[in-house]
Structures are given as structure tokens and as C-alpha cells.
Structure 1
Amino acid sequence: MSDRGGTAQPAIAGGVQVVVGFASTFALVLTGLRAVGATEAEAASGLLVICLAMAPIVIFLSLHTRMPVAIAWSTPGAALLLTTGVPDGGYAAAIGAFVVCGVLIAITGASRTLARAIAAIPGPIAAAMLAGVLLPVCLAPARSMVELPAQTAPIIGAWLVLFVVARRWAVPGAIVVTALVIGVTETFDVAAADLAPAATWTTPAFDAGAIIGLALPLFLVTMASQNITGMTVLASFGYHPPLRPILVTTGGATALTAPFGVFAINLAAISAALVAGPEGGPDPSRRWIGGVTSGAAYVVVGLSAGAAAALLAAAPPLLIEAVAGLALLGALAAALGGAMADGEHREAAVVTLVVSASAITALSISAPFWGLVAGLVVLGAQRLRRRPEPA
């Protein structure tokens, strides 16, 4: 039977978009949450609730705009969590930073002044900060290959083969091989009841160091690498949804659900092409159906959060970081390209990158914030030097 209404292909594309996105980076989300102090149950709660929160948002926005508005978590934001570490106030302070990040995203949608301020940050500097966040994570496959060669080699081998023959499935395939490797080499001690995820509330604590060192960088990388990039991807396929309701909705949902471990909800970027592009169906006016079905798919994959957390708990942390690093290589390449493309900003971008990747903490504020500050200072000094003297 033919699909006269053009419903099946966009519906399938929505499910594929969620499965690929989830399988590619769920390990990074769980590892990132645990890196800022979450327990295994709290990390599983974050993965569960962020999926359940994204479901109604993507359905509402797709129906409201009649466009394939894809929603995801902030993959660079999860990488930032992994490199930032536990803030001084513990996991509760990280939760407070998540709340602030959501509020800032929502305010950006409602305030043209803040939106202009974010847009004023030079693109190469923002890209360099993102590259600095991603670089330490992307080094993990090399370190894991040296320290855990027997476990890492099959994972990297599977990723490389699929990268060549079916690039979209390279990271999900590596995840499957990782599960097999862990099943063969590690011992599971998990009760069946532990596999059912549960929402776990953590009362936020608002610590100045966590707000400056975690909330602000999380907000900036989410805006620059997810929301702005996501709008660009949609525009490349002829879709121009209003940004204000997207930011207000996703930012507000982040702030409200942050106590359960939700760190940032935003527009999907690269994976958005799976529903907005030709793979979403031959009729562009019906590709919004993919957004609706992706909402249902998020509920299904969210219910696997407990099993995913149990899998990661049984694995060596470095092995999971290696898989996350493989997932972020493409994002790192794009960030490096954006940072180094403009000769006028290149030196300032390099300073931003190295400081952001340095893992330093000063005044209880993590490296990405100082990287942004350092890059802007260098750029400002260069512009002062180039300013012509008055006659």
C-alpha cells in the first residue's frame, strides 16, 4: 500500500532521529551528571526526566509551527559537565546552575537586549571555547587505547568501519559493541528493580562559583552550538520558525525540571537534518510529522535510563569516556574549523581554546569561563593596538 499522505517516511525519520541521538550521546549525559556529583540513581533520573520533558515540547512546537522542530539535550553542555567536575557546593550547586542556565535561555527568548549581547560574542571565540570544552573528552579514546587496549580496540574498530560505510550509525554501533564488551569482561550486580528509572528530586543550591563557572558556560555553549546552529540547519532546508517561543519553552522547561537532573533542553543541531531534510519525506510541508513522532520516541528511550545507567556503572569510567570522545569528534572538528577560519580572530581563539581546555579552576570558577574572558581580553588588546592614532 502506498503512503499517499506522505506520513510514514517523516514518522520513521522522527524515530530514527531520536534513536541515533540517544544512542550516540546518552553515555556522555550520564557520565557528565556523575562528574558533577550525581549518584547513579540521580544520573538515571536526569536522563529519564530530560527525555520525558522533551517529548511534549517537541510535539507542541511541531504542531504549533507545522515545521520539523527537533529538540535535544545539549551535547556540548554534557561534555562541559564532564570537564568541569564537582562544584564547591556539590551536586545541589550543579542543580542550581542548571536552573540558572534554563532561566537565562528563557530570558534570552524574551529579551532582545540579552539576545543581542550573546550575538555580539565573536563566532570564532565562541567556537574556540566549545573546542576547548570538547578537546579533553576527545582525547579519551587515545588514553583508553593505551590503558584498556583489549576492551577499547573492538569499540574503535567498529566505529571506524561504520564511519566509513554508514557514518550515521558509527557511534550507535560503537555503543552496541561497548555493551557487548562490558557484558563479556565485567560483572553486573544489579537487581531487576534497579533497572526501572525513577525521578529523583535534588533541592537546588545557588553558589556564585557554580553559577559563573558552570551556568554561564553551559548557557553560552548551548546557545552557540545548539540553538543558533539548530536554527541555521532548519533555515538551510527552508524552515524559519520563530526563535522566541522555542527559547522560552525550552529554557523554562530546563529551569522547572532541573532539580531532577535536567541540565539543558534546546534545539537539535546536526540530527535535526534527519527530520528537516529529504530523509524526512518528499513533501516539506509534512515533515513536521517527524517532530511529533520523535516526541513519542523520547518517552520510549527515556524508560531505558535505568538500564543505561546500570550498564555504565559496570564499565571502567575511561572506557565510557572513550565512547563519548568518539561521539564528539565531529563536533570538535566543526568547532576547530570555526575557531581558526578567521585570521583576525585566530590568536584570540587559540588563547580561548587552550585556557578552556586547561582544566584550571580559579576563584571556584572553571576553565571555560576563563577561556572566554582571556580570548575577549586578547581580542580587545589587538583591536586597541590596531586603532589608528589621532592626527
Structure 2
Amino acid sequence: MIPSPTARNWPLSVFTNAFIAAVVGFGGTIALIVSMGQHLGASATQIGSAVTALCLGIGIAGAALSIALRMPIVLAWSTPGAALIAGASGVAYGPAVGAFLFAAALMMLLGLVPALGRLAARIPPAIASAMLGGILLSFCIALFRSVEHSLLMALPALIVFIVIRQRWPTYALLAALLLVIATVLVRGQIGHVGGGLFGTLGATAPVLDAKALVSLGIPLFLVTLASQNLPGLAVMRSAGYDTPPRPVLLYTGLTTLLLAPFGAFSINLAAITAAICTGDDTHPDRARRWRAGVVYSGFYLLLALFSTPLVELFRQLPGDAIATIAGLALIAPLSGAMAGMLAAPREREAAVLCFLATASGLSLLGIGSAFWGLVVGFAVLGARRLLAR
């Protein structure tokens, strides 16, 4: 029997793979977005607006880029970027929104000016990885502290994550998330989930604070570039797509810029979830695989529509549950960052010092440790090269 044109163009695998990618991407890290908003002092309405804006941006920009480039362009929010923001000290929500705008403008500038793209490519990967590792370390340590405080919830989740990751790594985080939520529900720690059914948007006036721009805006830009956009482009290349970086950086940066007042801190290429939608099992014809990017974007538009009850559910989770989910979500990024940090022997010492400075939580002149970690790393590399001459 000859398959119909619809079945050839839109096979069931396009929908199932896109659905799995959206569920893994959203469900695995939404707890970190809620934690980020709470750390910044955002209200429940502002946190809900941020999730709605992020899902809208991912859905609209992803569908537009997939159709325009005829490639499965899978977008996401920056999980390491959310960890950076959640770990920032002394930054209120208004200045944080200003930092979101600044980071988005830098990403757009990178897409507009080819010389800046070449300059960004020369940033030592070891230093960028070290800064990222220093940011993520505290969240992964908090995972084991939650084991101490809530043994019967955190330890089973950790075991499930480790076991499933050995055979089905894509589903490990989702399985651990479902186990944590089930445990909390059985304990009766979640009450009535109210707040309405549909997602809402509410703008917050950005505050352009110089300290927030330096301590949060610049590291957010670098983390998003190094841990999301560059790996995302690599995933696309490995799937056989020569994705032009300029339109991707420009339009994801523009989308973030427009939605930042509503709480969208970073919309960028996905890496892990992109691999689910770009393989041969999604669609046998690579030229038609762009449809998976459109379907994936459609699922995120549905998530935007019903974001309010989802956010309210995660807002009611106990602190140990949030720490467990966030820590598990960041184990893989931390592992990759540590590997990148130690990959180049000549840059290893500078990278380790950058890592330690970032992880220390150091704050000088009101500027956070991520920026000072970069300063330390670049200073050591500069001194090494100067003395070598």
C-alpha cells in the first residue's frame, strides 16, 4: 500500500518526537525557572508571565525559523542561564529585566556584525566552560543537601535518574521529575492549584542598572552563547544541516528583546532536545524534517496557553523538591562544563581559577562572581601569554 502524501510529509514520528522533546525540555527545567523568579523577588504573576513569554517566544520564533530555513530549528530557554540568574546575589527583578534586554541586544549584535562573531569564536572554550561550571556547581551540591533533608524523596529520584540514564538518557530527568511530584502529592504537600487556567502576560519596566548589566547581562550572554547556541549549531551540523548562525542569533535575540519586559530572559537554540527532532527516526527525508520544528513549536504555544496552572503547581513544591529537580537537570550541563574546562592542558590552571572564583559566590563592588570569574580566567591567560613572550 502506497502511503498518502500527508503520511509521507507528516508521519506520526514527527508528532511523537516533537512532543517528547517539548515535554522533556519544559518539564525537566520549569522548576528552575520558578526558582529563578523567586530568587529575584518576582511575584507569582511575574513568574507566570515569564513562563508564558518564554513559551510564546520559543513557539513563534521556532516555527518562523523552521519554515524560513527549511530546517528543524528547535529553540529552548537557557537552563544554565536560569541557573546563573537564580544564583545572582543582590539583583532585584527590575534590574534583572534590564540585564535580559542587554544580553539579548548583545546576541543580536553578534548576529548583525560578522567581525563580532569571529571575535566571540576566539573566546577560550575552557574559560567559558569554567564559568558555566562554577555557576552550576552550587545547584548540584544542593541536590545532595536535599538528600540529607528529605531522604525519602530526593534519594529515590536520584537513583531513578541514574538507572534510567544508563539506557534511556532522554527520559531520565522526566522520570525523576514525575517521581518527585508523585511523592509530594502523596505527602499532601501541594494544595489546590488555582490562579486561572490560561497563561497571562504582564510587563515589568526594566531598570538599567550598571552593576546588574555587568554582573548578570554579560555572563548571561556568554553562557547562552557557549552552552546553548554554539552546541545547538553543532547538533544541527551533526544531523547534516548547515545552519546559518546569523539569522538564528539575530531573530532569537530580537524575540528575547521584545519579550524580556514580560520576563523572557533567553530564547536560544536547544541542544539536547534538538537531537530528538533532527534524527532519521523523526522523518526519513531530511528535506522534510523541518516539519518537526514546526510541530515542536506548536506544542510550546499550547504550553504558553495553559502555563498558569503549570507554574502554580511548581510554585507550591517544597524547597527540597525544587532543589532536587534543579540539581538533577544540571548534572549533564555540569559534566560537559567540567570536561570542557579541563580539555586544554595549557589553559587548565586559568580555567580552574575561573571556576573557583565563580563558584565562590564572590561579590565585589556589587558585581557578582560570574563576572569576576571571567576576569580571573582572562587575567591568568593574559599573564601567561605575556610572560611567555
Residue 263 of structure 2 is matched in structure 1 by 261
Residue 44 of structure 2 is matched in structure 1 by 40
In the TM superposition, what whole-angstrom CA distance separates every residue of 1:165-195 from its partner, at most 9, and x where no partner exists?
4221111111111211221224444463445
- Which whole-Å CA distance do the structure 1 matches of 2:234 and 2:193 have between them? 45
SS of residue in 2 equivalent to 1:205: coil
Residue 71 of structure 1 is matched in structure 2 by 75
Greater displacement, 307-316 / 343-352: 307-316
Amino acid at match of 2:53: V
In the TM superposition, what whole-angstrom CA distance separates every residue of 1:98-118 from its partner, at most 9, and x where no partner exists?
111111111110012322232
Greater displacement, 217-226 / 277-286: 277-286
Residue 54 of structure 2 is matched in structure 1 by 50
SS of residue in 2 equivalent to 1:72: strand
Amino acid at match of 2:78: S
Picking from 370, 375, 378, the partner of 1:376 is: 378
Residue 284 of structure 2 is matched in structure 1 by 282
Could you tell me the percent identity over the aligned residues?
A: 37
- Which whole-Å CA distance do the structure 2 matches of 1:86 and 1:186 have between them? 34
Amino acid at match of 2:310: A
Amino acid at match of 1:11: F
- Which whole-Å CA distance do the structure 2 matches of 1:195 and 1:86 have between them? 33
Does the 8 Å contact 2:194/2:312 carry over to 1?
Answer: no
Aligned residues: CA RMSD: 1.6
Picking from 225, 228, 236, the partner of 1:226 is: 228
SS of residue in 1 equivalent to 2:268: strand
- Number of residue equivalences: 385
- Structure 1 residues 117-128: aligned runs within 5 Å: 117-128=119-130
Question: 2:334 aligned with 1:348, yes or no?
Answer: no
Residue 20 of structure 2 is matched in structure 1 by 16
Residues 91 and 349 of structure 1, relative CA distance in 2, 3 Å threshold: same
TM-score normalised to structure 2 length? 0.95
- Which whole-Å CA distance do the structure 2 matches of 1:277 and 1:355 have between them? 39
Picking from 7, 17, 21, the partner of 2:10 is: 7
- Which whole-Å CA distance do the structure 2 matches of 1:268 and 1:193 have between them? 30
- Structure 1 residues 1-391: aligned runs within 5 Å: 2=3, 5-8=8-11, 9-87=13-91, 90-190=92-192, 192-387=194-389
Does the 8 Å contact 2:90/2:366 carry over to 1?
Answer: no
1:353 deviates by 0.6
Does the 8 Å contact 1:190/1:310 carry over to 2?
Answer: no
1:30 deviates by 1.6
Structure 1's unaligned 5+ residue stretches are: none
Structure 2's unaligned 5+ residue stretches are: none
Amino acid at match of 1:16: I
Greater displacement, 351-360 / 184-193: 184-193
1:85 deviates by 3.5
Amino acid at match of 1:55: G
In the TM superposition, what whole-angstrom CA distance separates every residue of 1:273-313 from its partner, at most 9, and x where no partner exists?
11112232221111101001011100122234222322222
1:52 deviates by 1.1
Does the 8 Å contact 2:195/2:309 carry over to 1?
Answer: no
1:228 deviates by 1.0
Amino acid at match of 1:320: I
- Which whole-Å CA distance do the structure 1 matches of 2:358 and 2:238 have between them? 31
